[in-house]
Structure 1
Amino acid sequence: MNDGASTERAFEAEPLPTLSETITVRSIAVSLVLGTVVSVVAMKLNLTSEFLPSLSIPAGLLGFFVARAWIRVNDVFGVPHLPFTRQENTVIQTCVVACSGIAYSGFGTYILGMSRKWDNGHVGSDQKNVEEPNIGRLMAFLFLINFAGLFMIVPLRELMIIRHRLTYPSGTATAHLINSFHTPHVARQVRQQVFTLFKSLGATVLWPLFQWFFAGGKDCGFQVFPTFGMTAYRRGFYFDFSTTNVGVGMLCPPMITVSMLAGSILSWGILWPCIETKEGQWYPENLEPSSLSGITGYKVLIGVSMILADSLFTFITALVRTLYLLLKRRSRVQTATLAGPPPGRCLCATERTMKSFDDRRRTQVFLRDMIPGGVAVAAYAALAAVSTAGVPRLYPQLRYHHVALAYLVTPALAFCNAYGAGITDMNLSTTYGKVALLVVGSCVGAERGGVVAGLVACGIVAAAVSGASELAQDLKTGYLTLTSPRVVLVGQVVGTALGCVVNPVVFWVFYRVYDMGVLDLDDADAPYAEVYRGIVVLSAGSRHGLPRHSLLLCGLFFALALALSAAREAAERRRWRALAYIPSTVGVAVAFFAPPKMPVGMARADRSGARMLSAAVASGLICGDGLGSTVPSMLTFFKAQAPICIKFFSQPVNAEILGGNAT
């Protein structure tokens, strides 16, 4: 069999490291240093800006270079050391991302939303609905809510990575980057891929800085370029020059991009403009853009209902298929026992479907270190029980049955989120958290502390759902780097534990600095805290509630999503030609949240001649944009202002501006 440009052929002579050779003092020390540094940057950005870049790729790069510097120091002093492997690099990346990811998990949203600074004297300003941040309580709360989600996705890892072969674009790009650093110099085709990756990375890394120079004001820069005209631009249909979107589009199947484009046209081009004409009839006028009583309520509820429908269908289908295969295998075993021993061993279904050496090798390692599903379920149940008992003691406004119900519902939501992230690379944990915020806040009510209860419930659901999605991404990275799933899980646990200590300390320092007025950041601090508090105040104390006909539309689109999922399943099973024209339900649903500029940037031509290097180019584009975006972030950190503003106007507006200047 011709394996083409095989990555694993280049590593075939290298033995796989053991757990003790991967989780080393070096990897833990590097993770501690990088996790703290990256958490400081992430926390500052989270509290002062809406710009929240992904840190997985910079973490992989920084982990490699810091570990190599560690090795060189050891060589200078003659200290013996283990070789630095791609598996250890993966562990460092996993730990750093798990640690810094907690900085994004809610400090600038629901945690600050509970404080008195954001109560604004509206509904829910009494003592029951305000909880000032406390470093000890924050640490305890984070330890209670951030570990359960890691065990929810473990029993489904084979379904996600092997059976459905989900892409997980960020995890795939990070794996390509790590493999490129550690590739031996004996594989000519692999070196070509590595060279292509670094060419695309080098050409991309300076692009965000170049864009920043022309974004010196509101609605300035190339990211607001009206590609298809001003009318389409106002509806979100334009190309924003994001190389990340281009790279994600190259890694995702073409049907996903087409499905997202179809969903954008359906929602942003047709449905939302029609609903906006009902302002004042279906929902109140002059609401905040983020209010769930307005157009945002339709977007969130309809999109979530479609994702739930598709994920529920996929979960039930997988369960039924698994039970059928188990019964069929049992029947075959009984028949074989009666007929005598088979003449030879037959490959299992998974082994038969592997088409290349890389797939076979990676699947072998991925399935070798099995994490028993029963152990994962028991761990989740135990952690959920501890959290159910502990969280209400920290925040009495949230009762025990509320926490228990959240942990009963969260596994289904985590599966939905991880499945969608595997296709589109979007983590919608904050969306599910907002739904929990809305439900719990309305059930408890402002008179019994519903504002704090809703915000805490939001944190529980968002942390668990996000943790499951991040672990799925890291498992994909581990699959592509031959890192044992057990090692990935240990790295995630270590990084999460580190983040539960580091981030509250970093947050407390910043919070005290703000409180003492040392930093003059009143124009930009915590932009999302008021949004989250406003949503829960609406649900807990407002009479408006959800917009009219929103639940009816949710039911209709839920049924549509089920029908679409069933049609794709039937077409795939019966090999219908219509399969190529049936869109992906998740792709359509995600477009209800994501602005149309994302699928526009993902659109591409699928040429077979470029397939060998397309993954390398895509990884370089994503890595370059991830690295390059840190430069504008640091400029924002130091309050630097872009020197130039480029804006685009329609011809009448331009003529009016020129006429006004002339007079």
Structure 2
Amino acid sequence: MITEVAPLTGSLIAMDATIGDSPTSVEAVFEKQPLPEFGELVTLRSMAVSVVLSIVFCFVGMKIQMSAGIVPALNMPASILSFFLLKWLIRLLQRCGFAMLPFTRQENMFLLTCVITCLNLSLTSGFATNIIAMTSIVARTLGDDPDPRDIMDHVPIGKWMVYLFLIGMTGVLSTVPFNQVMVIDYKLLFPTGTVIAQLINSFHTPQGAYIAKFNFDFSATYIGLGMICPHIVNFGLLFGAIISWGFLYPFLETKRGQWYQTDSHTSLTGLNGYKVFISVTLIVTDGMINFLTLITTASINFYRLRKEQDSGLTNYIKKHPSLNYDDRKRIEMFLANQVPVSMPVAAYIICAAISTIAIPAMFSQIKFYHVVVLYIVIPVLGFCNTYATGLTDWSVAPTYAKFSTFIFAAWIAKPGAVVASLLASGLIMAALHISSQAMQDLKSGHMTQTSPRAMVTGQLFGVAIGSIISPCVFLAFQSTAKPNAPVGSKQSDYPCPLAGLYRAIGVIGTGGVKELPKHCVKFCVVAFCMTVVIDAIVLISQKRGWRIHSYIPSMTVIALPFFAGSFFTIDMCIGSLLLLVWIRMNAKSAEMLSSSVAAGLICGEGLFTLPSALLNMFKVQPPMCMKFISSGQEVEMRNQGGVGVWIRAMGVGEEGEPGYGAISNRNVAVAALRLSARGRRRRC
């Protein structure tokens, strides 16, 4: 999934292999370049660029998450833009007469770490999931009369900044003691981190630098998103949209008055009950199966590696004389610059103590002993999740978050339990995902000979700026939302589809759902059985080497449109189709440049999101607007200081009535003819 952040596609891994004719040893190319000192890679210029890129990617990531719920891995666009913008800034300053330090891959890696950490904190902050799920807007989508003690509508932005800073620090600090074990001792691949390292190494050699030149396109976010996401994900989303909105929901609509009586679009006793519980069943069942599979695989591999290797690394290089030149150089740098274990352990204990006091003080629904339990289990769960990520490139932090929502709601089981469980799940989600992605970055730093101390510094800086940027970005989206369609509502441009899912799990955990529409449980049982069967087929085919598993999408992917809607699936499939056509025409060009084009499509629109939000916040209106109305009368609509447009809205009903949203070609043609015939009328 996408807060459920998707992994990199296989095509990106192949991209680096096509860049030039690089020698076998990567580090031999950089042998004449001395390793930069700490102050030469943790620079003010890299920090300044990281703040700019963090703002852009936070806007992009949060917008996608709020509207679609699926967020792809943005590591690749971030790596390209970090190289491009910092190198451009250095050239600009040099032309202005300033003496500049050389731009090294280590500084590039520090910059990228800051941006990725800030982005991960933004995506797991909860502003599109558990935080917005606490509001009355989302609560009313699950029931017409929510308990006011389980609602938090107005929380000062400063509280969210403190909350995000604490959970972000928790994620970074909980993983630092395991850096050496994960990267050096057990040699986990961390595929995304490996690919990013190879890309950055290529950027800083003459053969590979040319790939960073691309153009921005200021549109088509979801098409670019479709080009990054694997084809099986995009077409799985489309399949889920067709099954749910094309067949299942129209069938259930015909049962109104027989299986359920209410016409409410928010009550769980009506059609909405089927949507919520079927989607929750599909996602949670698939998550449980994948969770158990990953834990079992990780445990077996961990046991085998533990027997084969000595965790004491003092004489690591002496015990491994067969290490190649690259591995030897990287391990020497890593061991010489590692962070002493006592520092992150002490910092984690201090952070836990502060959180135990501060979080219950800010949010009365959660108690200090709940926070203590969370900080005890986070290092254990974080290790398991990070180890699984190193093997599979997939973080299951969202699964842990869903489980914790249910467990804490059932544990508290009284008014306020839903908010408390959502706060707990937010802490689990952010801490576990940030810790696993921090290890991904550390793997990239290891392969680019970047000091682990500098990497941890970049992660801490990313948490600091992310805790400030994320609430501000969310506030900007709130301020620009339509008054009658606020963030989190199904009519909004930012419906936050996963928010209802998280709140529904909390409600179910407290036992608050007493009535369901007829046959809803039967549909959930069928969904459960189908998920188990399909996941079993995938596991068996993977074990036996059958290719069929490559054509079966994740049930979580299929389930997302059941609750989120189908509006974004076509665009993402168009992105996949464009990439397939491109590969057919020129496979090498597609492999090398598709990620750059997708980055332009996504980030180009993201670059305009900030000024667009600012214009809306200051009530600056566009020079021309067009509106379709249901009265059937010809109306002149004049925008203040802009252009008047005449249009006759025929056959357009109110929302929920036949014809809503269906504008005929004749009406559009009439509007165009009137506009062209009468010309523009400007205010004097």
- TM-score, scaled to structure 2: 0.64
Counterparts in 2 of 1:624 and 1:409: CA distance versus 1, 3 Å: farther
Aligned-pair CA distance for 1:289: 6.6
1:625 aligns with 2:598: yes
1:95 aligns with 2:79: no
Question: What is the rounded CA distance, in whole Å, between the counterparts of 1:443 and 1:138 in structure 2?
Answer: 25
The answer to whether the 8 A contact 2:225-2:598 is kept is no
Aligned-pair CA distance for 1:588: 8.2
Counterparts in 2 of 1:302 and 1:136: CA distance versus 1, 3 Å: same
Question: What is the rounded CA distance, in whole Å, between the counterparts of 2:508 and 2:194 in structure 1?
Answer: 40
Question: What is the rounded CA distance, in whole Å, between the counterparts of 1:555 and 1:316 in structure 2?
Answer: 27
Aligned-pair CA distance for 1:70: 3.4
Partner residue, 2:279: 296
Counterparts in 2 of 1:401 and 1:307: CA distance versus 1, 3 Å: farther
Counterparts in 2 of 1:416 and 1:303: CA distance versus 1, 3 Å: farther
Question: What is the rounded CA distance, in whole Å, between the counterparts of 2:275 and 2:371 in structure 1?
Answer: 26
1:244 aligns with 2:215: no
Aligned-pair CA distance for 1:395: 1.0
User: Which ranges of structure 1 fall in alignment gaps of 5 or more residues?
Assistant: 186-190, 216-222, 224-239, 250-256, 269-274, 334-343, 572-577, 605-612, 642-663
Partner residue, 2:445: 478
Q: Deviations over 1:435-460 (max 9, x none)?
A: 22222223323x42112112211211
1:80 aligns with 2:99: yes
Aligned-pair CA distance for 1:91: 1.1
**Structure 2 residue corresponding to 1:543, chosen from 493, 514, 539:** 514
Aligned-pair CA distance for 1:27: 1.7
1:134 aligns with 2:156: yes
The answer to whether the 8 A contact 2:487-2:495 is kept is no
Aligned-pair CA distance for 1:495: 0.9
Partner residue, 1:150: 172
Partner residue, 1:654: none
Question: What is the rounded CA distance, in whole Å, between the counterparts of 2:525 and 2:380 in structure 1?
Answer: 20
The answer to whether the 8 A contact 2:283-2:556 is kept is no
Aligned-pair CA distance for 1:86: 1.2
Q: Deviations over 1:225-284 (max 9, x none)?
A: xxxxxxxxxxxxxxx9944245xx9xxxxxxx9xx99x99xx99xxxxxx999x99xx99
Partner residue, 1:463: 430
The one-letter code sitting in structure 2 at the alignment partner of 1:147 is M
The one-letter code sitting in structure 1 at the alignment partner of 2:448 is T
Question: What is the rounded CA distance, in whole Å, between the counterparts of 1:551 and 1:372 in structure 2?
Answer: 51
Aligned-pair CA distance for 1:85: 0.9
Counterparts in 2 of 1:368 and 1:549: CA distance versus 1, 3 Å: farther
Counterparts in 2 of 1:536 and 1:619: CA distance versus 1, 3 Å: farther
1:502 aligns with 2:502: no
Question: What is the rounded CA distance, in whole Å, between the counterparts of 1:367 and 1:567 in structure 2?
Answer: 41
The answer to whether the 8 A contact 1:49-1:524 is kept is no
Counterparts in 2 of 1:297 and 1:375: CA distance versus 1, 3 Å: same
Aligned-pair CA distance for 1:160: 4.1
The one-letter code sitting in structure 2 at the alignment partner of 1:181 is F
Question: What is the rounded CA distance, in whole Å, between the counterparts of 2:387 and 2:133 in structure 1?
Answer: 30
Partner residue, 1:36: 55
Choose 632-641 or 302-311, whichever is displaced more: 632-641
The answer to whether the 8 A contact 1:148-1:380 is kept is yes
Question: What is the rounded CA distance, in whole Å, between the counterparts of 1:381 and 1:547 in structure 2?
Answer: 45
The answer to whether the 8 A contact 1:311-1:415 is kept is no
Counterparts in 2 of 1:450 and 1:123: CA distance versus 1, 3 Å: farther
Q: Deviations over 1:540-569 (max 9, x none)?
A: 3213799689999999999x999x99999x
The answer to whether the 8 A contact 2:284-2:399 is kept is no
1:528 aligns with 2:499: no
Question: What is the rounded CA distance, in whole Å, between the counterparts of 1:127 and 1:594 in structure 2?
Answer: 29
Q: Deviations over 1:269-303 (max 9, x none)?
A: xxxxxx999x99xx998455763xx3334433333
SS of corresponding position for 1:107: coil
* Greater RCO (Cα-Cα under 8 Å, separation 6 or more): 1
Partner residue, 1:168: 191
Choose 465-474 or 102-111, whichever is displaced more: 102-111
Aligned-pair CA distance for 1:478: 1.4
Question: What is the rounded CA distance, in whole Å, between the counterparts of 1:403 and 1:328 in structure 2?
Answer: 32
1:8 aligns with 2:27: yes
Aligned-pair CA distance for 1:92: 1.2
Aligned-pair CA distance for 1:139: 1.4
Question: What is the rounded CA distance, in whole Å, between the counterparts of 1:329 and 1:505 in structure 2?
Answer: 45
Counterparts in 2 of 1:412 and 1:551: CA distance versus 1, 3 Å: farther
Counterparts in 2 of 1:472 and 1:554: CA distance versus 1, 3 Å: farther
The answer to whether the 8 A contact 1:304-1:589 is kept is no
Aligned-pair CA distance for 1:494: 0.5
Question: What is the rounded CA distance, in whole Å, between the counterparts of 1:467 and 1:406 in structure 2?
Answer: 16
Mapping of residues 571-582 of structure 1, within 5 Å: none
The one-letter code sitting in structure 1 at the alignment partner of 2:478 is Y
The answer to whether the 8 A contact 1:114-1:452 is kept is yes
The one-letter code sitting in structure 2 at the alignment partner of 1:303 is D
The answer to whether the 8 A contact 2:487-2:494 is kept is no
**Structure 1 residue corresponding to 2:130, chosen from 110, 128, 132:** 110
The answer to whether the 8 A contact 2:78-2:112 is kept is yes
Counterparts in 2 of 1:550 and 1:318: CA distance versus 1, 3 Å: farther
The answer to whether the 8 A contact 1:307-1:589 is kept is no
The answer to whether the 8 A contact 2:57-2:119 is kept is yes
Aligned-pair CA distance for 1:10: 1.8
Mapping of residues 245-644 of structure 1, within 5 Å: 245=229, 286-288=271-273, 291=276, 294-317=277-300, 320-321=303-304, 324=307, 346-347=319-320, 352=323, 354=324, 357-422=325-390, 425-445=393-413, 447-512=414-479, 514=481, 523-528=491-496, 531=500, 532-540=502-510, 541-543=512-514, 618=591, 620-631=593-604
Question: What is the rounded CA distance, in whole Å, between the counterparts of 2:373 and 2:42 in structure 1?
Answer: 36
Choose 32-41 or 488-497, whichever is displaced more: 32-41
* Cα RMSD for the two superposed structures: 5.5
The one-letter code sitting in structure 2 at the alignment partner of 1:114 is M
SS of corresponding position for 1:448: coil
Aligned-pair CA distance for 1:17: 0.9
SS of corresponding position for 1:397: coil
Partner residue, 1:338: none
**Structure 2 residue corresponding to 1:67, chosen from 62, 68, 86:** 86
The answer to whether the 8 A contact 2:113-2:458 is kept is yes
Counterparts in 2 of 1:346 and 1:46: CA distance versus 1, 3 Å: closer
Question: What is the rounded CA distance, in whole Å, between the counterparts of 1:635 and 1:329 in structure 2?
Answer: 51
The one-letter code sitting in structure 1 at the alignment partner of 2:39 is S
Q: Deviations over 1:451-488 (max 9, x none)?
A: 21122112111111121122122123213322122211
The one-letter code sitting in structure 2 at the alignment partner of 1:126 is P
SS of corresponding position for 1:442: helix
The one-letter code sitting in structure 1 at the alignment partner of 2:133 is G
The one-letter code sitting in structure 1 at the alignment partner of 2:408 is V
The answer to whether the 8 A contact 1:153-1:468 is kept is yes
Q: Deviations over 1:7-52 (max 9, x none)?
A: 3222121111121111112222222333234434544555566564
Partner residue, 2:9: none
The answer to whether the 8 A contact 1:116-1:132 is kept is no
Question: What is the rounded CA distance, in whole Å, between the counterparts of 1:136 and 1:451 in structure 2?
Answer: 22
Choose 2-11 or 475-484, whichever is displaced more: 2-11
Aligned residues: 557
User: Which ranges of structure 2 fall in alignment gaps of 5 or more residues?
Assistant: 1-20, 242-247, 260-267, 562-568, 580-586, 617-621, 625-684
Aligned-pair CA distance for 1:382: 3.4
Partner residue, 2:201: 179
Counterparts in 2 of 1:93 and 1:547: CA distance versus 1, 3 Å: farther
Choose 395-404 or 424-433, whichever is displaced more: 424-433
Question: What is the rounded CA distance, in whole Å, between the counterparts of 1:303 and 1:56 in structure 2?
Answer: 26
Counterparts in 2 of 1:34 and 1:404: CA distance versus 1, 3 Å: same
The one-letter code sitting in structure 1 at the alignment partner of 2:288 is S
